[in-house]
Amino acid sequence: MSGFEQLFAQRLPRLVMFDLDGTLIDSVPDLAAAVDRMLLEMGRAPAGVAAVRQWVGNGAPVLVRRALAGGIEHSAVNDQEAEHGLEIFLRAYGESHDRTVIYPGVRDTLCWLQAQGVEMALITNKPERFVGPLLDQMQIGPYFRWIIGATPCHRRNRTLPPCCMSCNWPV
């Protein structure tokens, strides 16, 4: 009996929504490589995987600020420095995802849910331009009917389209 069968006592949901990073895949090694490259390009010491693993979870802009601050508290980081660091980080992260791995059992779970007729969605704060290639690389993209990633309108200091302004999305 699967975990879903136990959880839902033979009455499965019609839709299951998944997060990507830290739920389906471990992307921290690639995030750490991009953080370290950013830090080195900005004349700082690399942080390493262990530190980055503690800093992830709130999107790339916060990860970059934490890396520049060298810890969770990042309010003292200069906005211009953070924006410059984010540009370097995103460029570096976009070059490779060779260290990212899918967690054990993920494909089996997605396959089982699909066989049961359960619709699946993926919702992530990862920038959309990285999501498709990652899902293709991990060979799990076709399982998801809906894929929602971070869009450019969610970046600070950008003009928001009316759809984001009207629904008060956090920016």
Please give the pLDDT value at position 64.
98
Any idea what the CATH number is for the domain that residue 153 is in?
3.40.50.1000
- pLDDT values of the chain reduced to their tens digit, one per residue, 171 residues: 566 667 776 788 999 999 999 999 999 999 999 999 999 999 999 999 999 999 998 999 999 999 999 999 999 999 999 999 999 999 999 998 999 999 999 999 999 999 999 999 999 989 888 999 999 999 999 999 999 988 654 444 434 344 433 334 333
Please give the pLDDT value at position 166.
38
Tally of structural domains, the chain: 2
pTM of the model: 0.81
Domain edge (last residue) among 69, 95, 121: 95
With b for 16 or more beta-carbon neighbours within 10 A and e for fewer, the 39-77 pattern comes to beeeeeebbebebbbebbeebbbbbbbbbbeeeeebeeb
Looking at the fold, whether 79 and 38 belong to one and the same domain comes out as: yes
The residues that are catalytic are 19
Looking at the fold, whether 84 and 143 belong to one and the same domain comes out as: no
Looking at the fold, whether 90 and 115 belong to one and the same domain comes out as: no
User: Residue 122: which H helix or E strand, with range?
Assistant: strand 119-127
Any idea what the CATH number is for the domain that residue 91 is in?
1.10.150
Looking at the fold, whether 108 and 146 belong to one and the same domain comes out as: yes
Please give the pLDDT value at position 2.
62
What range defines the domain where residue 112 resides? 3-25+100-167
Looking at the fold, whether 127 and 140 belong to one and the same domain comes out as: yes
